[in-house]
Amino acid sequence: MVYTIKFGTDGWRAIIAKEYTVENVQRIAAGTLSWMQKRAYKRVVIGHDCRFGGALFQDEIVNILSNGGIECLTNQNFVSTPMISLAVVNHRADLGIVITASHNPPSYNGYKLKSSYGGPTIPADIAELESMIPDTLNSIQLNQNGANAKYIAPKRIDAETEYIQHISKHFDIPQIRSKNKIAYDAMFGAGQNVMKKLFPEMHSFHCEHNPGFNNTAPEPIAKNLVDIQNFLQSNPGQYIGIANDGDADRLAMLDEQGNMVDSHHILLLLMHYLAGYKKMKGAAVVSFSVTNKLQKLAAYYNMKCIVTKIGFKYISEYMITEDVLVAGEESGGLAIKGHIPERDGIWIALTILQFMVETGKTITQLIDEVYAIVGPFAYDRLDLHLTESQIAEIKDNLKNEKTHWGPLLVKRYENLDGAKYYFNDDAWMMIRTSGTEPVLRIYAQGKDMNEVRQILEFTRAELNV
């Protein structure tokens, strides 16, 4: 039986040597070629992150596309997803391909698509391309190194240098360096070289090329950031912490005491800076799992706030058609006006650092300013690795209307993308299956971490997991 290649929340992802094989990568490349030829596309930028086999899989994709008459622009070394997205714009390419599984465990690799505007390809285009992936390849498609007349030799570019030059034009890096001591965790990911060059004096963690990621998923959440957190807590008040995921499009930060600053708080800080301090205009676009405090701050600044399904591809659709100031997801993928319509963990971190430099305030002081407007809150998420039958049983259970979770009364319910239950005093809980791996996620917000833990405990008890 032929394996069906399906795009999830962000690209196709699969386990290396199981479903993510040379043959299946060749198949998706052939589908991409057919789709590009149908649209008379001529040029593509291709790159890979630090995962196992990235260069090998890139070569297979380049072979298929080059022999089909597509000009392929490639990089010598690993690159981040935002570097490829920016290079698509810089080189006026029709498409970008990133070989990455982002934050997934080390056993995965993946295939992301970026369109000519420098952001995720929209769902309708992905569905069309997906339908064109063949079950098998013919000998012509597998020809090597220009064995047919259509062949166009690939060219090298330096997306990393282009990206650093772009950053230098938009941020005062010397000032940021002089005012902040930075601790950075690359999680063995593709942001490591850029950050080393921008901040050579930073205290670095996991800034080596290690495709095994020390057997830890390169996702910047608290349980995966123990080393940098311990360092910051041992050196209180001295550093600001930054962490990126495997392909550096996601971000987490840690304050000067080593406390996690999650994406909800970073989104609020971005809005407070751009709309409040800089007086910039535009809408906010956020995914369904983002804090409702963002809607409160948007109302305070008289901004429209749009909520989408989960997946930056849905947010990107608004960014390329509307005037969007701030956009992002709970998972740490954030974007702002003035850059490409793409998540960019390093760009957003630099924006927060610039905010701190311009105000002379710590990130904690700036968060307190936001709390003065929307009220304080805490947040956490559980990722439960369950069997397919367990997940199916939970989905069936959620079809029945829930009036309470333990002692918590449900005040309002939404199901745009998952099941979200609102309680008293801005508290809420949400349940959703991952779009990239077999995981059930439970999200919770409360007035403090004690309430968040209680909500999560009540939910697990009700679900019996």
pLDDT at 329: 95
pLDDT of residue 416: 95
To which CATH superfamily is domain 12-162 assigned?
Alpha-D-Glucose-1,6-Bisphosphate, subunit A, domain 3 (3.40.120.10)
The angle formed by the CA atoms of residues 30, 32 and 38, to the nearest 5 degrees, is 105
3-state percent helix, strand, coil for the chain, nearest multiple of 5: 35, 20, 40
**12-162 shares its CATH topology with 171-374:** yes
Tens of pLDDT, residue by residue, the chain (465 residues): 899 999 988 899 999 999 999 999 999 999 999 999 999 999 999 999 999 999 999 999 999 999 999 999 999 999 999 999 999 999 999 999 999 999 999 999 999 999 999 999 999 999 999 999 999 987 656 666 556 778 999 999 999 999 999 999 999 999 999 999 999 999 999 999 999 999 999 999 999 999 999 999 999 999 999 999 999 999 999 999 999 999 999 999 999 999 999 999 999 999 999 999 999 999 999 999 999 999 999 999 999 999 999 989 999 999 999 999 999 999 899 999 999 999 999 999 999 999 999 999 999 999 999 999 999 999 999 999 998 889 888 988 888 889 999 999 999 999 999 999 999 999 999 999 887 677 899 999 999 999 999 999 999 999 999
What is the spatial order of strands in the sheet that 251-254 belongs to? Answer: 203-205, 182-185, 240-244, 251-254, 260-261
Give helix 22-38 / helix 123-130 axis angle, nearest 10°.
110
The CATH class that applies to domain 378-463 reads alpha beta
42, 70 contact by CB (below 8 A): yes
Q: What angle do CA 173, 177, 182 make, to 5 degrees?
A: 120
- Homologous superfamily of domain range 171-374: Alpha-D-Glucose-1,6-Bisphosphate, subunit A, domain 3 (3.40.120.10)
User: Which residue has 């995965």 as its token pair?
Assistant: 108
Model pTM score: 0.94
Domain chopping of the chain, boundaries = 12-162, 171-374, 378-463
pLDDT at 147: 62
- Virtual CA dihedral for 21, 220, 347, 352, nearest 10 degrees? 170
